[in-house]
């Protein structure tokens, strides 16, 4: 078992302390790689990628440049890695953030202290190098060291790997920060928007991450914007209750932060001033992040397209078990040819509840699938849910089971897949799995399904062109 220690650095003076501690612990210098994080030009994800890609060791261990490993860190690290089973992709170290013993912690100190409970923080994180290579490392679309670690953890989990906590410990001191640090931290809302675009609505739950107060911030900012707009229009009466909502929300946020802290004059002043700014700044970063995420996710064509069957590839004949009744939808052959020409793999994901209802046999469904292959060419793996509604399976769309299984069969992470279907359940399954969803409405598609779909195309061919837009 071999490992390299990789330290992305922004040039903090604490780097010298870390390097000296590693030397004291007997970590060989040839195992140590210091990688410059040049901030706006590339960011921490790019620095980490440069580090692990230059390594040939079995494991790569990332340390932040402002941590101090415990005196038994090397021994515990090697024990952690030796104990990792073959299916374990990563082992996280334990982070301790010392807080003052003689007073309540400041807002900044409480924020840093959250690292102690953070899942998959790269302050001390060891990855199996082959696992990182399998998911192509860190996503360099994340410009800050905030969510790129959670993103890679979710992609590893989606690929079938397991992540675990180890026994080694590092100390993460609370560094200096000025009065405006809490306002600057709200830039992380933009990274949350990218996480939403990549992993769907359930990503917070899967990652054990906090949602925070974003809904509150959006409501307070909307009230302030409404009050300002009505004043400009000369309608002061409705402006008053909106302004009151903003004021109460701002004071509630300020008091919540003040009550948890030391309550000295400097801290109270900082909390009052920054609490008046945080809701608007958080909301602006969130909205800007949504727009940026939409561009970034659309810019890159998917590696695989998962297609619904009935109503999307072929004309919907309810509970069809007769291959002679199979009729491709107009443009299906051309759309599939376009995907094949682009080198994009395909699979079929289809609810076939007729099997569970006793209306059709699994053999008849397989015969229809073979006929579709004959008419449209090989479509790759065909994943079906044979269960009737109410059976509690995890594969019936809108559950994401079929998407996960198709992605695994193709060897593609779910977030690099797109799902094309004709009903809301298709795009909901995509979102739940972190994939991209495109709705191609038919006569049976409900208006509310169209309204809530993240992307809509009039035909299958148009959906394919939308997905391949970056290559046109």
Lookup: tokens for 369: 């699938």
* Helix 332-341, helix 362-376: angle, nearest 10: 70
Which residues lie below 8 Å from residue 138, measured CB to CB, with a gap of 6+?
44, 45, 46, 48, 49, 148, 149, 151, 152
CA distance 166 to 75: 12
Centre a 10 Å sphere on the Cβ of residue 466 and count the other Cβ atoms it contains.
18
Give the span between the Cα atoms of 47 and 6, in whole angstroms.
Answer: 10
Q: Which two tokens stand for residue 310?
A: 């009935």
Instruction: Give one word for 381, left, alpha or beta, with left for phi > 0 and alpha for psi -120 to 50.
Output: beta
Select which of 310, 316, 422, 426 is catalytic. 310
Annotated catalytic residue, options 66, 80, 124, 308 = 308
Q: Active site includes 139?
A: no
Pairing of strands 124-128, 88-96: antiparallel
Active-site residue flag, 422: no
Residues 250, 256, 259, 264: what is their CA dihedral angle, to the nearest 10 degrees? -40
**What's the CA gap between 465 and 209, in Å, rounded?**
35
Q: Is 148 within 8 Å of 44 (Cβ atoms)?
A: yes
Q: Which is nearest to 438 in space by CA: 412, 411, 465, 413?
A: 465
What spatial distance separates the first Cα and last Cα of the chain, rounded to whole Å?
46
Say how far apart CA 37 and CA 18 lie, in whole Å: 16
Residues noted as catalytic: 308, 310
């Amino acid at each position: 078992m071999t490992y390299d220690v990789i330290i992305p650095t922004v040039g903090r003076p604490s780097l010298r302390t870390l390097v000296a501690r590693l030397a004291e612990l007997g970590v060989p210098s040839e195992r140590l790689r210091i990688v410059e994080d040049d901030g706006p030009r590339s960011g921490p994800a790019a620095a980490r990628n440069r580090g692990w890609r230059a390594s040939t060791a079995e494991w790569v261990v990332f340390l932040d440049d402002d941590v101090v490993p415990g005196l038994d860190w090397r021994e515990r690290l090697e024990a952690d890695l030796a104990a990792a089973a073959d299916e374990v992709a990563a082992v996280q170290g334990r982070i301790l953030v010392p807080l003052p013993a003689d007073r309540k912690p400041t807002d900044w100190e409480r924020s840093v202290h959250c690292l102690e409970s953070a899942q998959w923080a790269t302050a001390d994180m060891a990855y199996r190098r082959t696992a990182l290579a399998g998911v192509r490392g860190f996503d360099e679309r994340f410009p800050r060291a905030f969510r790129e670690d959670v993103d890679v953890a979710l992609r590893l989990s989606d690929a079938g790997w397991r992540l675990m906590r180890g026994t080694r410990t590092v100390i993460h001191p609370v560094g200096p920060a000025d009065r405006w640090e809490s306002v600057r931290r709200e830039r992380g809302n933009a990274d949350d928007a990218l996480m939403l675009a990549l992993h769907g609505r359930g990503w917070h739950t899967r990652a054990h991450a906090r949602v925070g107060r974003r809904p509150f911030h959006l409501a307070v900012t909307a009230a302030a914007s409404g009050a300002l707009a009505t004043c400009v229009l000369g309608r002061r009466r409705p402006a008053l209750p909106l302004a009151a909502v903003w004021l109460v929300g701002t004071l509630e946020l300020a008091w919540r932060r003040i009550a948890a802290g030391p309550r000295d004059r400097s801290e109270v002043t900082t909390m009052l001033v920054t609490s008046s700014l945080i809701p608007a700044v958080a909301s602006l970063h969130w909205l800007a992040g949504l727009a940026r995420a939409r561009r970034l996710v659309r810019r890159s064509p998917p590696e695989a397209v998962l297609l619904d069957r009935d109503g999307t590839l072929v004309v919907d004949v309810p509970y069809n078990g007769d291959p002679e009744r199979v009729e491709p939808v107009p443009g299906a052959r051309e759309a599939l040819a376009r995907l094949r020409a682009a080198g994009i793999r395909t699979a079929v994901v289809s609810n076939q509840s007729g099997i569970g209802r006793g209306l059709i046999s699994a053999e008849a469904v397989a015969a229809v699938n073979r006929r579709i292959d004959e008419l449209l060419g090989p479509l790759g793996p065909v994943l079906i849910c044979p269960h009737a509604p109410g059976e509690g399976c995890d594969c019936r769309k809108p559950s994401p089971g079929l998407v996960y299984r198709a992605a695994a069969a193709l060897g593609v992470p779910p977030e690099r897949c797109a799902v094309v279907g004709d009903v809301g359940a298709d795009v909901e399954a995509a979102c739940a799995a972190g994939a991209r969803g495109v709705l191609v409405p038919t006569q049976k598609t409900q208006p509310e399904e169209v309204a809530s779909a993240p992307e809509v195309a009039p035909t299958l061919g148009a959906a394919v062109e939308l997905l391949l837009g970056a290559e046109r």
